[in-house]
Structures are given as structure tokens and as C-alpha cells.
Structure 1
Amino acid sequence: MEWPVNFDDVIEKANQLDLYKKLVNQLNKDLLLANIDLAFHENILPTSLKMMLHETIFKLLQDKFMDYLNLLYIIDVSEEEVKALDGSDTLKLSEEVSFLILRREWQKVWFRNLY
């Protein structure tokens, strides 16, 4: 399996395998574990999911950095990939981290579905 390279790719793969709702539920589960006050309805439009997650990550980076780090830890986002991102533009960084989060959640859902 080739891992998604962008947000649209994550959504496309999730829809192809009919796993979009499971992806949203996995994201909700990990947000709850990280004590992040955000929950998505399982029928949320992908564009809304992307926008709301991006906005939340941006706010966490700006105001609650420890909560942001805790979320990355709970979701198990690769530390090397996060360190490789350009942190000079917080808005762009939050968008890229949002993708890494969704890709990691997709990996979890895909593996669980496969096995």
C-alpha cells in the first residue's frame, strides 16, 4: 500500500475502501484522549474536516503548545516528519501537521481494517 501524499489522497483512499467514517471516528477517539475539545460528526464533509482540524492545530500551536505536543504523541505522528517541516510560517506548519495527523489516523484505520 502506498501511503497518501496529500489530504485529497487520504480522503480518496478512505472513500475507496469505505473507511471514511472509521477515519473520522479514530480521529475523534484520539482527540478525546488528548483532551482536545473537538469532535467531528462522522458524516462531516472532507473540506470541513480539513478546515476545522487545520484551525484547531493552528490554535494549539499558538496558545497551547503542550496540548499540541500531547496530541501528536497520542496520535503517534512521526517526530522526524514534524521536525522536517518548515516552522517559519505557523499557518503553513499547522496545515502540514494536520495532514500528518490525518495520514497517521488513516494508517491506523487501514491496518485495523486489513487485519
Structure 2
Amino acid sequence: MFISPINTDLLLQEANKEELYANLIAQLNKDFNLANEAVDFPKSISPDELKIQLHEKIYRLIQYKFAEYLNLLYIIDVSEDEIKKLDGSDLVVLAEEVSFLILKREWQKVWFKNYYR
């Protein structure tokens, strides 16, 4: 049964434990590229480094390319309700929270694909 992790670190630990971390990275790369926001997270990237790079990418999108940021959320299918609940007063914190929501949604996709294949 799918249980949604409560934070980024636990999510990445779960992906490693389930041996689906590489699939998670591939899904991130795929969806970012579909949104024309090219990223190329290498399969060898550490969970800590992935967390940092994703956070930086989201922060830059919010700050400088807001329309592209919204398009990315749409492509990934991040819950609009969850986004609306976030406090946008601190962009660094907001980018961190959005990064987690993105990882959570991508993890759902990867987990369900693996579970129901």
C-alpha cells in the first residue's frame, strides 16, 4: 500500500529502500524536460545533492520564470490545493516546500508504475 512520506529526507530514503531512486530521478528529468525546463540529474546524484539542486531550480523558477514554474507544476500534476496552502512570504522556504510536493508527486508516479506493472 502506498504511504506518502512526510518530508523530503524520508521520501528519498524510501525510494532508496524500494530500489526506485533511479526511477525517481528519471521521472524528474522526464517531466522537467516535458515542461521545457531542462534538467539532467545524473542517476549517480546523491539524495542530498538532488534535494539541493531541485530546491535551487525551483527557487530560480519562482523568482525569475513564474509562468514556466506554473507550467512545470501543471505538467508534474502537483496538487493545486496543496500549493495554495503554502505560505509564500519566504521564497526560500516556499521553494523547499514546493520541491517536496514535486518529489512527492513524482514518487507517487514511480511507486504506482512499479507496483502495478
TM range (shorter): over 0.9
Amino acid at match of 2:25: V
Aligned length: 115
Report the identity percentage.
Answer: 58
1:101 aligned residue: 102
1:6 aligned residue: 7
2:25 aligned residue: 24
Amino acid at match of 2:84: K
* Aligned 1:7-86 pairs, distance under 5 A: 7-86=8-87
Query: Partners in 2 of 1:112 and 1:35 — Cα distance?
Result: 23
TM-score normalised to the size of structure 2? Answer: 0.96
Q: Which runs of 5+ in 2 are unaligned?
A: none
Amino acid at match of 1:23: L
Query: Partners in 2 of 1:16 and 1:45 — Cα distance?
Result: 14
Whether the 8 Å CA contact 2:24–2:107 is kept in 1: the answer is yes
Q: 1:37: how far off?
A: 2.4
Q: 1:16: how far off?
A: 1.1
Whether the 8 Å CA contact 2:29–2:40 is kept in 1: the answer is yes
Considering only aligned residues, what root-mean-square deviation do their CA atoms show, in Å?
Answer: 0.6
